[in-house]
Structure 1
Amino acid sequence: MPDFNLPGRRPADADSAEAQVHLLAAEGSYELLSESTVPDALGGSDNFFLFEGYNEWGMPAVAAHLHHNEDDKTFTLAAEPAPTFAAGAAWLVQHGADPQQFLQHARGAGAPADARSAAAAARIVESGSRYQLVEHGIEYGETWALLRDNAAVSAERPFLLQLESAHHQRGYTLREGSFSSPQEVQQWLESRRTPLPPVVGDEVSVVVSPQASAARARTTGAGQRANAQEPAAVLTGASVVSRRAVR
């Protein structure tokens, strides 16, 4: 767990102060899975963290973005719980992290366990705000997230169900299927009598977001900050934590 005491620096705003208090209080609850630092042109830096979290929400991932401002010795800090490791990585990418650190170079529990899982993660990590989180739940070591696909190609079956199970050393396994309605998803989760239906298009179609492109450019370039608009959350909309029994 990184030291979020940050001596010699002060929070730039109330949200950063609140996030600092939360992360300091949760020191024994989170395990660090991934950490990266990207310098900016003004002498500061962006720091990206992906944690495995054991907290009151029952979510397996927590992402944090820390920015050091060298001009006034302040910092901005944001922390975001996520239903899956892929969703946590996606949130970090939307805040400027390099997506490849979570797809090609990741290790441990926060890494895809196989090529199929990596492809499913890439769909979420690199596709900007295409997917909206509808609902999620965790039971018996498996986390599921129901996403709505806003792309026109998925109009007939716009609900994407992703199932994630994690192993501390091998990484996480991510499987997915497309459904026409949340009711169909609930019925499938409760019975599991059939395989997951194929994803619309039967392949991962990644639409790389501007934030992901900027992050990749600045980590492969001279370490300079890319000029990008303020990123939006990768999974938008309200999430409802569900404790539905999954068998």
Structure 2
Amino acid sequence: MSTELDLHLDDLAPADSEYAAQQFWSGDLSVLTEHHTAPHGSHSYVVAHDGSVTWGVPGEPQVAAIKVARDLSLNTFTMETAYHATVPFAQNWLIEHGCPPDQIAEVGAGFSTPADDLTVRIEAQIRESGARYEVIESQTSDYDPCEAWTLTRDGEAVEAPIRLFLEEGDSNAHTYTLREGAFPDEETALRWLDDRSTPLPQPPEHLGEAAALRTRAALARSAGSSEIPKTAPKAPPSPRQPYQYSVRYRGGCRERPLRLRGAPRRH
């Protein structure tokens, strides 16, 4: 996959007068992930970073989702675009507009990678959420702090339906984290963003999952100890072994664009 945008529009004319490609110059776009249908190439789906946004209104979303549909019998095409603060929401938009999910999930090499498995899981949650999240507002900052957030309304949440997805980049490690916070209303979420003196509130369902995992682990330990015969002789103590662990990194996302200008947080 090339990072240069090529929508394969040679010898094709726009099917309508509102030509979406006039809204951007391909030289400003760096392709993050793309899918072109085969064998006839009737559709293209692209997620790209738009570097020109850095010079525009501070805080505007910089990730473009682009869909091209070609009518090869008429040699015409139509184009739809939508801008998002983070890649998973752009991927979700393309999936909702017909892109096969597996074809747009992986972001090309050479970009920053998720810092942990939780980030990977939340990205997949957004990408595969369908129409679950209604985007209310977003903010992007490509200067310190290097971050992007999207405020949404979760259509499936029983408690705390306002969900904040906060992505924070580490330019030194070339990684980023994505976290989900839960709030009762928009005002509370925006106050937290301005203040940040407390941890990001966890979604209630995540707290329930953590408690369930602890309960299952305790039951497993209890069941394991009950299987030991009472008459079995005790084994001699074995020498203490050093604790071994491994850290596994999941790759395949992006690096932040060059930080040319800052965007202050909402006040």
Q: Normalized against structure 2, the TM-score is what?
A: 0.66
SS at match of 1:28: helix
1:176 matched residue in structure 2: 180
How many residues are paired up? 202
For residues 73-222 of structure 1, the aligned pairs below 5 Å read: 73-103=75-105, 107-109=109-111, 112-139=114-141, 140-151=145-156, 154-166=157-169, 170=174, 172-202=176-206
CA displacement, residues 87-110 of structure 1 (integer Å, 9 cap, x when unaligned): 111111111223234545654448
Distance in 2, Cα, partners of 1:204 & 1:122: 20
2:234 matched residue in structure 1: none
1:224 matched residue in structure 2: none
For residues 56-67 of structure 1, the aligned pairs below 5 Å read: 56-57=56-57, 58-67=60-69
Counterpart residue type for residue 76 of structure 2: T
Deviation at residue 64 of structure 1 after TM alignment? 0.6
- Cα RMSD of the aligned pairs, angstroms, is 2.9
CA contact 2:112–2:174 (8 Å) conserved in 1: no
Counterpart residue type for residue 42 of structure 2: S
1:38 equivalent in alignment to 2:58: no
Pick the structure with greater CA Rg. Answer: 2
Q: In structure 1, list runs of 5 or more residues that go unmatched.
A: 206-242
1:245 equivalent in alignment to 2:265: yes
CA contact 1:103–1:118 (8 Å) conserved in 2: no
SS at match of 2:180: strand
Distance in 2, Cα, partners of 1:98 & 1:112: 23
CA contact 2:34–2:104 (8 Å) conserved in 1: no
CA displacement, residues 20-40 of structure 1 (integer Å, 9 cap, x when unaligned): 2223xx233221111211237
CA displacement, residues 53-84 of structure 1 (integer Å, 9 cap, x when unaligned): 23125323111111222211111111211121
- Percent of aligned pairs sharing the same letter: 29
Distance in 2, Cα, partners of 1:126 & 1:60: 21
Distance in 2, Cα, partners of 1:83 & 1:6: 27
